[in-house]
């Protein structure tokens, strides 16, 4: 296949140095986790008028002996006369990598600028943990946010969920689980190029040759889904794209980009949401690929930050930002 570098926004060309050429496998996971992209230093919450603390959420899934779930909790320091929105965040990393600290800058920004209480989940990672465990972690955190809403001064009718890449896929899966369990309300789902379909990049579904050259490739995707699912059959809610119905899901903001491996599965999911009468805002940027926001000074990355925050404010019912 010819390279698609000529389709990449010129401001994003530094990303060409970030290619992960290593073949993912159980044996290479330790090396990859230690070497690829170091976690940026944590921001200063006090300077943003925010508190940040580590909490442990008890995992109370029926009939299961599940471990507590580590989360980062962000709260505005300023007292509010009205109830605040809540936002449950899941980090990216292909279900294989990542931790809440890697999304600290964004979650500080959400808390400070939208006045939202943010919980970022350190869900269990594959291949060490497969099956429903990671999704159960996120569901437990959603329950904790609801059950502690009074203490947190959070409006239970304004709790949204979201994430990026695998975190977006986890958020979509959580949206389906929350709908089906009908225990905790979700007002909005905020999905940035979410990882939704285990079939993407397979021999049976290789997809458009113009996508998937950079950062996250077809072999990466197939290994990651196999590690995440383990012996669990590929089905919803873990694989959101396999859900029979998307009716009853919360209003959704879906963001994807033209060169991302997930582009077409994202667009298809958004179309299915619209067909199910779910209010859906779909944005597709040209000239960008998976992880492009890492080039923070690029105009397209700044556009994303603006659109992300405006859409999240709307989804959480924040006015007069």
- What residue ranges of the chain have pLDDT lower than 50? none
Catalytic-residue membership of 290: yes
Residue 151's H or E segment, with its range, is helix 149-152
In this prediction, residue 20 carries a pLDDT of: 66
Task: Say which residue the tokens 């996120």 belong to.
Answer: 138
Say which of 165, 197, 198, 301 is annotated catalytic: 165
Residues 281 and 191 sit within 8 Å (Cβ to Cβ):
no
Cβ atoms 207, 200 nearer than 8 A: yes
* pLDDT reported for residue 81: 85
Residue 317 tokens, joined: 């019912």
Cβ neighbours around 218 below 10 Å, total: 18
Set out the domains of the chain in order of their start, with CATH numbers: 5-315 (3.40.50.1820)
pLDDT in tens, 24-72: 888 887 777 776 555 678 999 999 999 999 999 998 765 567 899 999 9
Angstrom distance (rounded) from CA 135 to CA 117: 21
Active site residue 146: no
3-state helix, strand, coil in the chain (%, to 5): 35, 15, 45
Catalytic residue among 104, 122, 198, 260: 260
First to last CA, the chain: 46
- How many Cβ atoms sit within 10 Å of the Cβ of residue 80? 9
Give the integer Cα–Cα distance in Å for 230 and 146. Answer: 30
Annotated active-site residue in 89, 146, 190, 290? 290
Give the distance, in angstroms, between the CA of residue 215 and the centroid of all CA atoms in the same chain.
Answer: 16
Dihedrals phi, psi of 254, to nearest 5 degrees: -120, 120
User: If you write DSSP's letter for every residue of 87-139 in order, what string do you get?
Assistant: EEEE--STTTS--GGGGHHHHHHHHHHH--EEEEE----TTTS-TTHHHHHHH
Q: How far apart are CA 160 and CA 146, in angstroms?
A: 11
Cα separations in angstroms, 245 against 39, 61, 213, 273, 282: 37, 24, 31, 9, 19
Is 307 one of the catalytic residues? no
| Cα–Cα distance for residue pair 51/65, rounded to 1 Å | 31
């Amino acid at each position: 296949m010819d390279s698609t570098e000529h389709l990449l926004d010129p401001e994003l060309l530094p990303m060409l140095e970030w290619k992960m050429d290593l073949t993912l496998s159980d044996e290479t996971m330790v090396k990859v986790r230690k070497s690829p992209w170091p976690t940026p230093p944590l921001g200063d919450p006090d300077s943003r008028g925010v508190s940040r603390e580590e909490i442990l959420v008890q995992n109370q899934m029926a009939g299961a002996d599940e471990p507590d779930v580590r989360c980062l909790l962000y709260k505005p320091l300023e007292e509010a006369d009205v109830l605040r929105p809540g936002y449950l965040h899941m980090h990216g990393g292909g279900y294989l990598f990542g931790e809440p600290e890697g999304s600290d800058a964004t979650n500080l920004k959400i808390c400070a600028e939208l006045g939202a209480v943010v919980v970022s989940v350190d869900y269990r990672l594959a291949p060490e943990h497969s099956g429903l465990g990671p999704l159960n972690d996120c569901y437990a955190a959603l329950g904790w946010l609801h059950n502690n809403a009074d203490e947190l001064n959070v409006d239970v009718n304004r709790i949204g969920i979201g994430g990026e890449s695998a975190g977006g896929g986890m958020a979509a899966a959580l949206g389906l689980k929350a709908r089906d369990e009908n225990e905790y309300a979700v007002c909005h789902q905020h999905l940035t190029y979410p990882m939704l379909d285990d079939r993407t990049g397979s021999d049976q579904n290789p997809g458009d040759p113009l996508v998937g050259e950079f950062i996250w490739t077809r072999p990466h995707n197939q290994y990651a889904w196999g590690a995440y699912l383990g012996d669990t059959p590929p089905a919803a809610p873990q694989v959101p794209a396999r859900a029979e119905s998307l009716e009853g899901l919360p209003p959704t903001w879906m963001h994807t980009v033209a060169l991302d491996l997930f582009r077409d599965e994202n667009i298809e999911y958004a179309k299915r949401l619209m067909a199910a009468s779910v209010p859906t805002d779909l944005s597709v940027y040209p000239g960008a690929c998976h992880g492009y926001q890492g080039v923070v000074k690029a105009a397209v990355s700044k556009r994303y930050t603006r659109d992300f925050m405006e859409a999240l404010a709307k989804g959480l019912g924040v006015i007069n930002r």
